[in-house]
Structure 1
Amino acid sequence: MIQVKAPGKLYIAGEYAVTEPGYKSVLIAVDRFVTASIEDTTSLATQGTIHSKTLHHEPVTFQRREDKIAVSDLHAAKQLKYVITAIEVFEQYVRSNDISLKHFNLTIDSNLDDASGHKYGLGSSAAVLVSVIKALNEFYDMQLSNLYIYKLAVIANMKLQSLSSCGDIAVSVYTGWLAYSTFDHEWVMQQIEDTSVNEVLNKNWPGLHIEPLQAPENMEVLIGWTGSPASSHHLVSEVKRLKADPTFYGKFLEQSHTCVEKLIHAFKTNHIKGVQQMIRHNRKIIQQMDNEATIDIETPHLKTLCEIAEKHGGAAKTSGAGGGDCGISIINSDSNKKHIYKEWKSHEVIPLEFNVYHGQ
């Protein structure tokens, strides 16, 4: 049996601007995972199985109908749409390389949510896509690069939805700390429609930037969870309306770009104080946009999280779309994080003692 895992993610800086091609963000992979296990069926089998431990109790069978995966349970098919689409995209690539398809049993498990099923906002759909692509890559012994695994997961994602920047996919593949800017979505979508999967993978995608970073020495990320989920799709849609005011939106993009470039420079020069300064600056940029869009990115709960961390010397901000989910604080590991955790708890912010995940 082959077993692979794909980590969840958190955004550190550059949120919202990252939805535009060429505007960078910084993310981390965290040590919570979607795990995919895959094994060959018997040589006589005419079907395979998909078993999602987080969605159903029983495996469902699947067969291939032309280039589609047909699942025995229609209700399960809806719940398994990310798994099914990832398989379909990968198998298009396999067929284009004149490799015979095989039947398999695939099992998906996850610890990206809390024990009662509440979402932390760690990007579970991205990790599902990546884990399935990675498992199939090993199963067929394709030996694909990280870039190709990323691109195949993105193609699957774009067949399902189009608003995502796909930064969560990138960091789930590359792990660790990552600087990322998204690609020209319209160009890639056109390529998907007009050419083969092979050709789409081989081309340079305009705007795409994926760069692993090394964190400054003695720097730590603290993560606080508000316990309330955010609707990233809704928040990003609302912010997109700001494009109607190109002066404001253009200024926001430029400010975010400058801030994140300085943040990346602070990483490369091993400068914690520079990182903290840019985290605080990025918070202000997002607050300005929040005021303009009136969508409550920094909820009262997240504001409390940030203020507590700042009081104890951390540089804090919302993570991702905001509106709930998590906030982060960058501290020097010499700082006493117990004080932050204790005060967070007293204000109903749950410390998530996750670590940055640096690959298997």
Structure 2
Amino acid sequence: MIQAKAPGKLYIAGEYAVTEPGYKSVLIAVDRFVTATIEDTDTECGSIHSKALHKDQVSFVRKEDKIVISDIDHAKQLKYITQAIEVFEQYVNSKNITLRHFNITIDSDLDDASGQKYGLGSSAAVLVSVLKALNEFYHMQLSNLYIYKLAVIANMKLQSLSSCGDIAVSVYTGWLVYSTFDHEWVKEQIITSTVDEVLIKNWPGLHIEPLQAPEHMKVLIGWTGSPASSHHLVSEVKRLKSDPNIFGHFLKSSQLNVEKLIQAFKTNHIEGVLDSIRKNREVIQYLDAFATVDIETPDLKKLCAIGEKYDGASKTSGAGGGDCGITIVKNDLNRENIYNEWSKNNIKPLRFSIYHGQ
């Protein structure tokens, strides 16, 4: 039996700009996971069991290069699992390795006890955990970059709006600088080339770089209890691209401040980190002023105000519109003060740590 886990993520800076190739963001992996467990079976078909979706075990068979599951009603809910298997096995076939029957189980602690999502990138973690488990199962010893690219290919077959930063940090873990690739180029490669060929090529615009955080710096995470629709919010920002003055100014400002943040990390300059986080919040607020939906909701404004009250640097995390906000502090001195005041204002402290891999 093989187990592989993939962590959830949070954006620290560069949200929305990261949807454009070449524009940098900073993310963290958190110590909450999707876990894939895989084992051999002697039967003529395999099975998939998603505990995360509270679904019963379903069997699957292979028809050409597709995974066909026995319960049609569950097919949509299990699409990230089946798509990851399909893409991985296309790569396995290219290496003339015999496919094997297996049972795979998916479990998750990325949501709260009631099943509400924290906004930690569960779809990305599902893809990555399944691919990591299959990598071990087939003894492929693929690099992190290949696992990332396989997950992206699977993701792009299912949706097109994601920057795939959540996939990158789920693979590489820790603190990460990320800028996305040329999506149209990769889409074309997926259509015209084999999976093996797509993995080998350099992807234009892609940048993945681990970061080391300044000493004693802490990231505090608060959850508003209101799930956000990233798809809807990203679509709204896409609408703003029709005005190149607004969106162009936003992109330039975001890149400038994210570059300053990265430099502050590399020089162990915590005051520079705090300043850049506050500036990045202002950049998001600039975009928010032109949007028809709230990026920084009233609850997120409250979360940020409390963090700033206790000398932290605060902002929304990810698409905003709900979900999580963050406060970065220089040390632990005010952590409990912030947590206590968040709790009094119906903001749930998520006492997660940054996950730096196994």
Q: Does the TM-score normalized on the shorter chain lie above 0.5?
A: yes
Match of 1:36 in 2: 36
* Structure 2: tracts of 5 or more residues without a match: none
**Contact 2:218/2:332 (<8 A) preserved:** no
Whole-Å separation in 2 of the counterparts to 1:305 and 1:97: 51
The residue correspondences of 1:115-194 to structure 2 (distance < 5 A) are 115-194=113-192
Whole-Å separation in 1 of the counterparts to 2:192 and 2:12: 36
Whole-Å separation in 2 of the counterparts to 1:281 and 1:221: 17
Match of 2:349 in 1: 351
261, 264, 268: which is aligned to 2:262? 264
Whole-Å separation in 2 of the counterparts to 1:339 and 1:352: 14
Q: Counterpart amino acid of 2:125?
A: A
48, 58, 61: which is aligned to 2:59? 61
Whole-Å separation in 2 of the counterparts to 1:88 and 1:16: 30
* 1:56 to partner: Cα distance: 3.4
**Contact 1:49/1:61 (<8 A) preserved:** yes
Match of 1:93 in 2: 91
The residue correspondences of 1:241-320 to structure 2 (distance < 5 A) are 241-320=239-318
Match of 1:13 in 2: 13
Q: Counterpart amino acid of 1:4?
A: A
Structure 1 residue runs of 4+, over 6 Å off?
none
More deviation, 248-257/155-164:
248-257
Task: Give me the identity figure in percent.
Answer: 75
* 1:183 to partner: Cα distance: 0.2
* 1:342 to partner: Cα distance: 0.8
More deviation, 285-294/55-64:
55-64
**Contact 1:313/1:335 (<8 A) preserved:** no
* 1:336 to partner: Cα distance: 1.9
Match of 1:82 in 2: 80
More deviation, 262-271/331-340:
331-340
Match of 1:111 in 2: 109
Whole-Å separation in 2 of the counterparts to 1:273 and 1:294: 34
Q: Counterpart amino acid of 2:264?
A: A
**Contact 1:219/1:330 (<8 A) preserved:** yes
Whole-Å separation in 2 of the counterparts to 1:13 and 1:295: 20
Structure 1 vs Structure 2 CA RMSD: 0.7
Whole-Å separation in 2 of the counterparts to 1:193 and 1:351: 44
Please give the secondary structure, in 2, of the residue aligned with 1:224.
strand
**Contact 1:34/1:128 (<8 A) preserved:** yes
Q: Counterpart amino acid of 1:10?
A: L
**Contact 2:177/2:209 (<8 A) preserved:** yes
Whole-Å separation in 1 of the counterparts to 2:266 and 2:44: 53
* 1:333 to partner: Cα distance: 1.5
Q: Deviations over 1:75-134 (max 9, x none)?
A: 111110000000000000000111110000000000000011010000000000000000
Whole-Å separation in 1 of the counterparts to 2:61 and 2:21: 38
Whole-Å separation in 1 of the counterparts to 2:273 and 2:83: 38
Q: Counterpart amino acid of 1:107?
A: T
Q: Counterpart amino acid of 1:88?
A: E
Q: Deviations over 1:155-202 (max 9, x none)?
A: 000000000000000000000000000000000000000011011000
Q: Deviations over 1:227-277 (max 9, x none)?
A: 000000000000111111111111110100010001000000001110000
Please give the secondary structure, in 2, of the residue aligned with 1:142.
coil
Whole-Å separation in 2 of the counterparts to 1:82 and 1:296: 29
Whole-Å separation in 1 of the counterparts to 2:52 and 2:238: 33
**Contact 2:45/2:60 (<8 A) preserved:** yes
Please give the secondary structure, in 2, of the residue aligned with 1:149.
helix
Whole-Å separation in 2 of the counterparts to 1:319 and 1:100: 43
Please give the secondary structure, in 2, of the residue aligned with 1:296.
coil
